[in-house]
Structure 1
Amino acid sequence: MYIKRTVEKSILEAAKSFPCIVLYGPRQVGKSTTLDYVFPANFNRVTLDDTEDRELAEKNPKLFLEVNPWPIIIDEIQKVPALLDAIKIKIDEQRKIWLKNNEERKLMYVLTGSNRFELQQGISETLAGRCGIIEMSSFTLREKKAMEAHLFTPKIEVLIQRSQQEKSEYLTRTQIFEEIYKGGMPDICTNVSERNIYYKSYVNTYIEKDVRKLIVASNETQFRNFISIVALRTAQELHYDEIAGAVGIDVKTCKRWLSILETSGIIYLLQPYMSNMSNRIIKAPKLYFMDTGLCAYLCKWPDSKMLENCAMSGAFFETYVVSELIKNFFSFNVNPRDYLYYYRDIDQKEIDLLYVDEDGIYPIEIKKGISPKNPTKNFNVLQKYKRQIKTGLVIECCDKIRPLNEISYSFPVYLLGI
């Protein structure tokens, strides 16, 4: 059963503007399935996981593109980076033909890659200006519930208006933690695979196909331990030396391995808001897993009930909210780094999220409880930035949007994406 993805619209919009599209995303989040659904049957399809196709692409990229003419979807393009040069030549040749004949340009190539660490340099150097790049992640809650999503905004008047038109069913905190524990991987959400068996295979496949050639083979066991230790630190500030010491590696290796996790879409690093007031601000990013189900598996939590009541429950709830927002931005082809930050200073005053745009700063707190005590106590620290501080949000497990005080509203987590 195909579940409609919010990113479909962004893919089609990019197809109107570029002769090539690159769809990035972690393994098994549904890139190929979505593209098969979005593009018509007249598109050729080939995967470089196929040994024969990969060998031809490596030995003779020009012949490969002649045998597999455009329009075409090429999966796992990172396996043959040399193919990008041949694609560039084809695009430039076809552009001249379109220009000479005064024809409308068309979409020629749709490329997917699950290992951005290997691919992004080749794309930026070879296909710059010729391709639209789109990020894709695992399912959001809205997608799992088959409900339309909007690009997130913290503007309370817009959220109230959308919530009045909303028909989604309220989810209790226990139900939210069931969603957190399950995660957003399509095969689990559609009941194709049993959760624990799936994630065990996922970790093995990820290490075998994406990581092994990027690290020393003898470090594979250490890298498995490294991923689990990173998972235990989701929603925390990133301290390389502390993680390196726990794993038994040097800081340089730790930074490289974290870079692999980030560029392959496993984790996201949320940057602190600096502006021009950086002398007292904590400068380390915060680390979040992009799929809470994978994170819970790596932390070895046996079920959602124990996860809800464990010492890490607040961190998992925060991770869930942040990852839902990041995935929402990706789905609308918007860079979350242009809007989302966190705040913490050396006086230990912290705000979980800041949404920053030309209108001002919107503070956002994330609390797993209902009606948390004084959640907006640190909002006033933002006054020093000499920017307009807008009405804030406290994202929690309440049942509807309601005012908390004169500077903030509570916002139900189950309504994220309305």
Structure 2
Amino acid sequence: MIPRHFSDRLHQLLEQFPVVTVFGPRQAGKTTFVKHALPDWQYIDLERRRDRVRVEEDIEYFLSQLDGPIIFDEAQLAPELFSELRGFVDRDRAKKGRIVLLGSASFRLNQQVSETLAGRVGFVDLTPLHWHELHGSELDISMSDRWFRGGFPEAVLNNSNEQRFEWFESYVRTFVERDLPAMGINVTAAQMHSLWRMLAHFHGSLWNASQLASSLSVDYKTVNRYVDILEQAFLIRKLQPYFVNLGKRLVKRPKVYLRDSGLLHHFLDVAEPKKLDVSPNRGASWEGFVIEQIIEAYRLSKPQYHPYFWRTARGSEVDLLMVAGENIIPFEIKLHSSPTKKMVTGLLQCMQDLNLKSGYVVYPGTERYSLGDGIITLPAQKLLEKFSDLPGD
């Protein structure tokens, strides 16, 4: 069992709210995490027909017979549960830590929770395994292996490239053939596979729905809807641009990333590390991997910071800004053994335009050194080993 960083947050929220919802993509380890964190709680899996019938037959009666706290897994499959939960909670509103809801289809579950349990529920977003969680654990794989394999536990733990490929095939098939219909989404498997593959090749690019719509022979509104589904299922990240009124023309479209590097490599047909070494998408893959790791590190340790990127209409760009009010921390991601100042002109421009004293270049090396003008290179592994080393207050 690999300890998860989210355990402290789960217990903290259970002391504040009667209900806590744990969101996350399928197979991210939600069930294992919650069962390990709450070993004495009753567990109901609503994906199992027997459990669902037992609950739905008379929800009010089922809840009235509870003699302790309970976990409902795949809670979005029993929408009638939520209205009953509100009354159940309100009969003893002061009592905290009573119910945990788990769900993969976040947008549907989030809607159900928001409509019925507002003010009564706390949220934990559980993502696949972070590098920091693996480093120093019993697994302790290298950062390059974590980058290649992704963060889903089944993919991380499997040393066979062939078996890992088959696992991703099964994962995608389950999502398309079972999860999407359960959400009421009507899209063919061929269309979703094509969209995913195109997104993989556009990984880290400015979002252009019309371009993808033309390739898929659908309208841009449909493409936007499909991508919204993937985003709400924690599989895609839309990184928003940062702009203030500085009199400079700035890009206002988001950039799109596949959040899990292993899933990205699957759709790029990069089935083994040596293929990644020669892939034309290698730099974009590294950029997305590091961005996701940094964002999650800040979310867990400095949650007041929010992620953006910065880009001018003329093409000057910084890969990631972590922003908390007037505190702005710029990161440029480079897949180079020894980045130089000439490689980070966009970072210099950003620092000048936003009046920033410090900027950072994250790279896969081992040494921290200065490039001058407030720019520091940071080895990715060292940056992510200790959250206390993250820049910012």
TM-score by length of 1: 0.85
Shift of residue 81 of structure 1? Answer: 1.8
The CA distance in 1 between the partners of 2:355 and 2:122, in whole Å, is: 34
- Aligned residues between the structures: 381
Residue by residue, what CA displacement relative to the aligned partner does 1:194-216 show, whole Å, maximum 9, x if unpaired? 31121111111111222134566
Could you list the runs of 5+ residues in structure 2 that have no partner in the other structure?
387-393
Is the contact made by 1:400 and 1:411 (CA closer than 8 Å) also made in structure 2?
yes
What letter matches 1:94 in structure 2? D
What letter matches 2:88 in structure 1? K
Shift of residue 391 of structure 1? Answer: 1.0
The CA distance in 1 between the partners of 2:301 and 2:173, in whole Å, is: 31
The CA distance in 2 between the partners of 1:137 and 1:216, in whole Å, is: 23
The CA distance in 2 between the partners of 1:13 and 1:325, in whole Å, is: 23
The CA distance in 1 between the partners of 2:239 and 2:187, in whole Å, is: 31
CA distance 1:222–1:5, shift in 2 (3 Å): same
The CA distance in 2 between the partners of 1:217 and 1:353, in whole Å, is: 35
CA distance 1:326–1:35, shift in 2 (3 Å): same
Residues 185-264 of structure 1 aligned to structure 2 (within 5 Å): 185-191=152-158, 194-214=163-183, 217=186, 219-264=188-233
CA distance 1:287–1:198, shift in 2 (3 Å): same
Is the contact made by 1:212 and 1:220 (CA closer than 8 Å) also made in structure 2?
no
Residues 82-161 of structure 1 aligned to structure 2 (within 5 Å): 82-95=80-93, 98=94, 105-146=95-136
Shift of residue 334 of structure 1? Answer: 3.0
Residue by residue, what CA displacement relative to the aligned partner does 1:378-417 show, whole Å, maximum 9, x if unpaired? 23433675x5413111000110322121311111111243
Q: Secondary structure at the match of 2:344?
A: coil
How many percent of aligned residue pairs carry the same amino acid?
28
What letter matches 1:196 in structure 2? F
The CA distance in 1 between the partners of 2:127 and 2:302, in whole Å, is: 12
The CA distance in 1 between the partners of 2:67 and 2:16, in whole Å, is: 20
The CA distance in 1 between the partners of 2:51 and 2:247, in whole Å, is: 52
Q: Give 1:343's aligned residue.
A: 310
Residue by residue, what CA displacement relative to the aligned partner does 1:293-327 show, whole Å, maximum 9, x if unpaired? 01100111121122122111110000100111233
The CA distance in 2 between the partners of 1:138 and 1:339, in whole Å, is: 19
What letter matches 2:379 in structure 1? P
Q: Secondary structure at the match of 1:46?
A: strand
Shift of residue 123 of structure 1? Answer: 1.2
Q: Give 2:390's aligned residue.
A: none
Q: Give 1:405's aligned residue.
A: 372
Q: Secondary structure at the match of 2:314?
A: coil
Q: Give 2:391's aligned residue.
A: none
Q: Give 2:38's aligned residue.
A: 39
CA distance 1:214–1:15, shift in 2 (3 Å): closer
Q: Give 1:14's aligned residue.
A: 13
Q: Give 1:280's aligned residue.
A: 249
CA distance 1:279–1:219, shift in 2 (3 Å): farther
CA distance 1:142–1:384, shift in 2 (3 Å): closer
The CA distance in 2 between the partners of 1:130 and 1:77, in whole Å, is: 16
Q: Give 2:330's aligned residue.
A: 363
Residue by residue, what CA displacement relative to the aligned partner does 1:105-153 show, whole Å, maximum 9, x if unpaired? 3300011110012111111121111111111110111112236xxxxxx
Could you list the runs of 5+ residues in structure 1 that have no partner in the other structure?
99-104, 148-168
What letter matches 2:79 in structure 1? P
Residue by residue, what CA displacement relative to the aligned partner does 1:21-55 show, whole Å, maximum 9, x if unpaired? 000000011111111111141x1111101102223
CA distance 1:378–1:128, shift in 2 (3 Å): same
CA distance 1:63–1:253, shift in 2 (3 Å): same
Q: Secondary structure at the match of 2:132?
A: helix
What letter matches 1:12 in structure 2? H
* RMSD over equivalenced CA pairs, Å: 2.4
Shift of residue 61 of structure 1? Answer: 2.0
Q: Secondary structure at the match of 1:139?
A: coil
Q: Give 2:343's aligned residue.
A: 375
Q: Give 2:62's aligned residue.
A: 64
Q: Give 1:181's aligned residue.
A: 148
CA distance 1:211–1:4, shift in 2 (3 Å): same
The CA distance in 2 between the partners of 1:277 and 1:69, in whole Å, is: 60
The CA distance in 1 between the partners of 2:185 and 2:25, in whole Å, is: 22
TM-score by length of 2: 0.90
CA distance 1:217–1:120, shift in 2 (3 Å): closer
Q: Secondary structure at the match of 2:230?
A: helix
Residues 291-330 of structure 1 aligned to structure 2 (within 5 Å): 291-330=260-299
Is the contact made by 2:307 and 2:322 (CA closer than 8 Å) also made in structure 1?
yes
Residue by residue, what CA displacement relative to the aligned partner does 1:222-267 show, whole Å, maximum 9, x if unpaired? 1121112112211111111111112222111101100100000001
The CA distance in 1 between the partners of 2:233 and 2:166, in whole Å, is: 22
Q: Secondary structure at the match of 1:375?
A: helix
- Quick check: 57-66 or 307-316, which moved more? 57-66
The CA distance in 2 between the partners of 1:406 and 1:218, in whole Å, is: 51
Is the contact made by 2:351 and 2:358 (CA closer than 8 Å) also made in structure 1?
no
Q: Secondary structure at the match of 1:322?
A: helix
Q: Give 2:389's aligned residue.
A: none
The CA distance in 1 between the partners of 2:347 and 2:300, in whole Å, is: 29
Q: Secondary structure at the match of 2:345?
A: coil
Is the contact made by 2:316 and 2:345 (CA closer than 8 Å) also made in structure 1?
no
